[in-house]
Protein backbone atom coordinates (compact mmCIF):
# COMPACT_ATOMS: atom_id res chain seq x y z
CA UNK A 1 0.00 0.00 0.00
CA UNK A 2 1.38 3.39 -1.00
CA UNK A 3 1.48 6.04 1.70
CA UNK A 4 -0.17 9.37 1.02
CA UNK A 5 2.13 12.37 0.88
CA UNK A 6 1.21 15.35 3.04
CA UNK A 7 2.83 18.76 2.67
CA UNK A 8 3.04 20.58 6.00
CA UNK A 9 4.05 24.11 6.87
CA UNK A 10 4.08 26.25 9.98
CA UNK A 11 5.34 29.45 11.45
CA UNK A 12 6.93 29.88 14.89
CA UNK A 13 3.59 29.50 16.69
CA UNK A 14 3.04 26.09 15.11
CA UNK A 15 6.43 24.42 15.56
CA UNK A 16 5.54 22.34 18.61
CA UNK A 17 2.20 21.24 17.18
CA UNK A 18 3.81 20.37 13.84
CA UNK A 19 6.32 18.15 15.62
CA UNK A 20 3.48 16.42 17.47
CA UNK A 21 1.65 15.84 14.18
CA UNK A 22 4.77 14.45 12.52
CA UNK A 23 5.40 12.05 15.42
CA UNK A 24 1.77 10.92 15.56
CA UNK A 25 1.24 10.32 11.83
CA UNK A 26 4.76 9.46 10.61
CA UNK A 27 4.09 5.74 10.24
CA UNK A 28 0.92 6.28 8.17
CA UNK A 29 2.01 9.13 5.89
CA UNK A 30 5.03 10.66 4.21
CA UNK A 31 5.54 14.33 5.07
CA UNK A 32 7.16 17.12 3.09
CA UNK A 33 8.13 19.58 5.82
CA UNK A 34 8.15 23.21 4.68
CA UNK A 35 7.74 24.62 8.19
CA UNK A 36 10.19 26.28 10.48
CA UNK A 37 11.72 24.09 13.14
CA UNK A 38 12.35 27.00 15.49
CA UNK A 39 10.24 29.27 17.67
CA UNK A 40 11.90 32.50 16.53
CA UNK A 41 9.47 34.84 14.78
CA UNK A 42 9.13 34.20 11.03
CA UNK A 43 6.77 35.28 8.24
CA UNK A 44 4.10 32.62 7.67
CA UNK A 45 3.70 33.24 3.89
CA UNK A 46 7.25 31.92 3.39
CA UNK A 47 6.03 28.52 4.60
CA UNK A 48 2.55 28.57 3.06
CA UNK A 49 3.46 29.07 -0.60
CA UNK A 50 5.61 25.90 -0.84
CA UNK A 51 2.78 23.81 0.68
CA UNK A 52 0.22 25.27 -1.74
CA UNK A 53 2.59 24.63 -4.63
CA UNK A 54 3.05 20.98 -3.59
CA UNK A 55 -0.72 20.48 -3.50
CA UNK A 56 -1.49 22.23 -6.78
CA UNK A 57 1.31 20.32 -8.57
CA UNK A 58 0.00 17.02 -7.09
CA UNK A 59 3.27 16.44 -5.26
CA UNK A 60 1.17 16.03 -2.11
CA UNK A 61 -2.32 14.64 -1.58
CA UNK A 62 -3.20 17.56 0.67
CA UNK A 63 -1.60 20.18 2.91
CA UNK A 64 -1.60 21.03 6.59
CA UNK A 65 -0.83 24.61 7.63
CA UNK A 66 -0.35 25.77 11.20
CA UNK A 67 0.00 29.21 12.75
CA UNK A 68 -1.32 30.89 15.88
CA UNK A 69 -4.87 31.60 14.69
CA UNK A 70 -4.67 29.80 11.32
CA UNK A 71 -6.17 32.88 9.69
CA UNK A 72 -2.96 34.14 8.09
CA UNK A 73 -1.98 30.78 6.62
CA UNK A 74 -5.53 30.20 5.38
CA UNK A 75 -5.74 33.60 3.66
CA UNK A 76 -2.35 33.11 2.05
CA UNK A 77 -3.06 29.59 0.80
CA UNK A 78 -6.37 30.68 -0.72
CA UNK A 79 -4.55 33.17 -2.94
CA UNK A 80 -3.54 30.14 -5.02
CA UNK A 81 -6.30 29.43 -7.58
CA UNK A 82 -6.15 25.65 -7.19
CA UNK A 83 -6.22 25.69 -3.39
CA UNK A 84 -9.26 25.42 -1.17
CA UNK A 85 -7.91 25.96 2.33
CA UNK A 86 -10.26 25.62 5.27
CA UNK A 87 -9.69 26.75 8.84
CA UNK A 88 -10.68 23.95 11.22
CA UNK A 89 -11.05 24.77 14.91
CA UNK A 90 -13.19 21.76 15.82
CA UNK A 91 -14.08 18.27 14.55
CA UNK A 92 -17.36 19.31 12.95
CA UNK A 93 -15.75 22.04 10.89
CA UNK A 94 -12.91 19.69 9.91
CA UNK A 95 -15.48 17.28 8.54
CA UNK A 96 -17.45 19.95 6.68
CA UNK A 97 -14.48 21.59 4.97
CA UNK A 98 -13.80 18.24 3.29
CA UNK A 99 -17.38 16.98 2.94
CA UNK A 100 -18.85 20.17 1.44
CA UNK A 101 -15.86 22.22 0.24
CA UNK A 102 -13.40 19.48 -0.76
CA UNK A 103 -10.67 21.45 0.99
CA UNK A 104 -7.22 20.34 -0.12
CA UNK A 105 -5.48 22.22 2.69
CA UNK A 106 -6.48 22.19 6.35
CA UNK A 107 -5.42 25.12 8.53
CA UNK A 108 -4.96 24.55 12.25
CA UNK A 109 -4.90 27.30 14.95
CA UNK A 110 -2.07 26.22 17.26
CA UNK A 111 -2.85 28.76 19.98
CA UNK A 112 -6.48 27.67 20.33
CA UNK A 113 -6.28 23.86 20.36
CA UNK A 114 -4.53 21.37 22.54
CA UNK A 115 -2.53 18.57 20.92
CA UNK A 116 -5.26 15.94 21.25
CA UNK A 117 -7.89 18.22 19.70
CA UNK A 118 -5.59 19.04 16.77
CA UNK A 119 -4.78 15.37 16.13
CA UNK A 120 -8.48 14.44 16.22
CA UNK A 121 -9.33 17.29 13.83
CA UNK A 122 -6.69 16.15 11.35
CA UNK A 123 -7.79 12.50 11.63
CA UNK A 124 -11.40 13.46 10.89
CA UNK A 125 -10.36 15.66 7.96
CA UNK A 126 -8.29 12.83 6.47
CA UNK A 127 -11.07 10.26 6.85
CA UNK A 128 -13.93 12.41 5.57
CA UNK A 129 -14.97 12.00 1.93
CA UNK A 130 -16.16 14.79 -0.37
CA UNK A 131 -19.89 14.46 -1.06
CA UNK A 132 -19.78 15.97 -4.55
CA UNK A 133 -23.17 16.67 -6.16
CA UNK A 134 -24.54 20.11 -5.33
CA UNK A 135 -21.30 20.89 -3.50
CA UNK A 136 -19.26 20.40 -6.68
CA UNK A 137 -21.45 22.98 -8.44
CA UNK A 138 -20.57 25.49 -5.73
CA UNK A 139 -16.86 24.67 -5.78
CA UNK A 140 -16.82 25.21 -9.53
CA UNK A 141 -17.94 28.81 -8.90
CA UNK A 142 -15.11 29.66 -6.46
CA UNK A 143 -12.25 30.64 -8.83
CA UNK A 144 -12.24 34.21 -10.13
As annotated, the active-site residues are 67, 100
User: Cβ distance 93 to 60 under 8 Å?
Assistant: no
Alpha helices in the chain (DSSP H): 15-25, 45-56, 71-77, 91-99, 115-127, 134-139
- Cross-strand pairs, 67: 109
Identify the sign of the CA torsion 128, 133, 135, 139.
Answer: positive
Q: How far is CA 54 from CA 19, 21, 40, 47, in A?
A: 20, 19, 25, 12
Amino acid sequence: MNKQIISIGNDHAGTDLKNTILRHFNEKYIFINHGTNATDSVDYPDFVHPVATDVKKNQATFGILICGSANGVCMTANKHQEIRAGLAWNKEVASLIKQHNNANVICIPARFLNELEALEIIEIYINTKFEGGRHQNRIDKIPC
